[in-house]
Amino acid sequence: MRFYRGTHEYYCGVDLHARTMYLRLADQQGTVLVNRNIACTPSAFLDAVAPYKHDLVVTAECVFCWYWLADLCAQHSITFVLAHALYLKAIHGAKAKNDAIDADKLLVLLRGGAIPVAYVYPPGMRATRDLLRRRLYFARKRAELFSHIQNTFHQYNLVKPAGEMNVAKHRARLADCFSDPIVRAIVEADLQLCSVYDTLIKDLEKKIEQQARLDEPMSLVLLHSIPGVGKILALTLLYEIHAIARFARVQDFSSYCRLVKPEHNSAGKRVGSGGAKIGNAHLEWAFSEAAVCFLHRNPRGQGMIKRLRKRYGPGKALSILAARLGRATYFMLKNERPFDMERFVAN
């Protein structure tokens, strides 16, 4: 956990919402100078902080609508600190909670150097990252349709024709397997939506890949050198990591990717674990998928997982493999070198 330790003449805590924002601004001594609810507009914010912006630091939680405020502060040379929402226990654990209290606690934590810092993803690659996440959402919706079609075959005790459903030609005659016109209509509706998602996902992938070749062509090539990492996994790793330099140590990177299990210790004894949801869920998914794909048609990888299974069991073996792939990715990007199978298997 990192904290913001900078000192300024003025400090501002913002409880940010979609349409309104509550501002509480104070000086170094803690004298409150601004304390009001305003509209979520650039002009309203700039008017409220205008007398103090020459040496002002602003903080807000990393809720869904922080982009515009961070960009606005950057444009006007105002220091902006994005507070890690899951670490802000002081807000969520308060006896009473409202916008004014939240803004005040953000202000107090900021003045005291106790604001846990989240990463402010730069605007240059931010939109492409969000588009990639949207593509993943559509892919999962399409998978839900595949599952529903499969379940319909099970409901009526029918055998689905051979072939993967993500291939359009294998789906062409699925509806004809059902004699009941109503059931056939259900399957046809799912198939029509599948076709829409096919076209949409393909177009999005093309746009994202073209942009990635402009943003980080070298990193993309390095990520593709990992066995089993294809187009989507490489793009996910590229845009979710963004800049490997923001991680001082490989341990920080592994923690951010949720590849290590956090433990709680007290008086030299383990008292449990927690914080499993703190980190990047997309990177956790990407490395989990990469661990499975790494084994496909990879005899050396299969020999490695066999040894891990014998020692740790099948479930934990895959988790260890994912963590090792995460560590390898960190050093690949940091040193700008492709994946080295000899070194990876030897460790």
Which pairs with CB-CB distance under 8 Å and at least 24 residues apart come from 276-284?
277/86, 278/84, 278/86, 278/87, 279/255, 280/240, 280/256, 282/133, 282/136, 282/236, 282/240, 283/236, 283/237, 283/240, 283/241, 283/256, 283/257, 283/258, 283/326, 284/257, 284/258, 284/259
| Cα-based distances in Å from 86 to 115, 120, 236 | 11, 15, 23
Say yes or no: 236 and 192 in one domain.
Answer: no
Number of domains the chain contains: 3
Domain final residue pick, 50, 80, 111: 111
Confidence of residue 92 (pLDDT cuts 50, 70, 90): low
Average pLDDT of span 317-345: 96
Confidence of residue 20 (pLDDT cuts 50, 70, 90): very high
Say yes or no: 235 and 282 in one domain.
Answer: yes
Share of the chain above pLDDT 90, in %: 85
Instruction: Flag whether 116 is in a domain.
Output: no
Q: What is the pLDDT of residue 204?
A: 97
Instruction: Flag whether 3 is in a domain.
Output: no
Q: What is the pLDDT of residue 90?
A: 62
Q: Which of 86-90, 162-166, 174-178, 313-317 has the lowest mean pLDDT?
A: 86-90
Say yes or no: 60 and 170 in one domain.
Answer: no
pLDDT digits (tens, 9 = 90+) for 274-303: 777 889 999 999 999 999 999 999 999 999
Cβ contacts of residue 38 below 8 Å, gap of 6+?
A: 20, 21, 22, 23, 44, 45, 48
Q: What is the pLDDT of residue 89?
A: 73
pLDDT digits (tens, 9 = 90+) for 100-135: 999 999 999 999 999 999 999 999 999 999 999 999
**Residue whose C-alpha is closest to residue 89's, from 9, 1, 214:** 1
CATH of the domain at 76: 3.30.420.140
Is a pLDDT exceeding 70 seen at residue 317? yes
pLDDT digits (tens, 9 = 90+) for 33-64: 999 999 999 999 999 999 999 999 999 999 99
Say yes or no: 25 and 97 in one domain.
Answer: yes
Say yes or no: 242 and 207 in one domain.
Answer: no
Which two structure tokens, joined as six digits, stand for 198? 């096919």
Instruction: Flag whether 118 is in a domain.
Output: no
pTM: predicted TM-score of the whole model, two decimal places: 0.90
Residue-number span of the structural domain to which 167 is assigned: 124-215
Say yes or no: 198 and 237 in one domain.
Answer: no
Say yes or no: 155 and 237 in one domain.
Answer: no
Instruction: Flag whether 175 is in a domain.
Output: yes
Do residues 30 and 85 lie in contact, with contact meaning Cβ atoms separated by under 8 Å?
no
Average pLDDT of span 8-24: 96
Say yes or no: 73 and 88 in one domain.
Answer: yes
Domain final residue pick, 58, 81, 111: 111
Instruction: Flag whether 39 is in a domain.
Output: yes
Instruction: Flag whether 198 is in a domain.
Output: yes
Q: Residue 105 and residue 97: Cα distance in Å, rounded?
A: 10
Confidence of residue 136 (pLDDT cuts 50, 70, 90): very high
**Residue whose C-alpha is closest to residue 237's, from 205, 279, 284, 201:** 284
Q: What is the pLDDT of residue 70?
A: 97
Domain final residue pick, 75, 90, 111: 111
Say yes or no: 333 and 238 in one domain.
Answer: yes
Say yes or no: 227 and 325 in one domain.
Answer: yes
**Residue whose C-alpha is closest to residue 30's, from 54, 5, 9, 59:** 9
Average pLDDT of the chain?
A: 94
Instruction: Flag whether 268 is in a domain.
Output: no
Which two structure tokens, joined as six digits, stand for 248? 């001082």
Say yes or no: 68 and 102 in one domain.
Answer: yes
Q: What is the pLDDT of residue 202?
A: 96
Instruction: Flag whether 324 is in a domain.
Output: yes
Say yes or no: 230 and 328 in one domain.
Answer: yes
| Cα-based distances in Å from 119 to 241, 256, 302 | 11, 11, 36
Is a pLDDT exceeding 90 seen at residue 203? yes
Q: What is the pLDDT of residue 91?
A: 64
Q: What is the pLDDT of residue 201?
A: 97
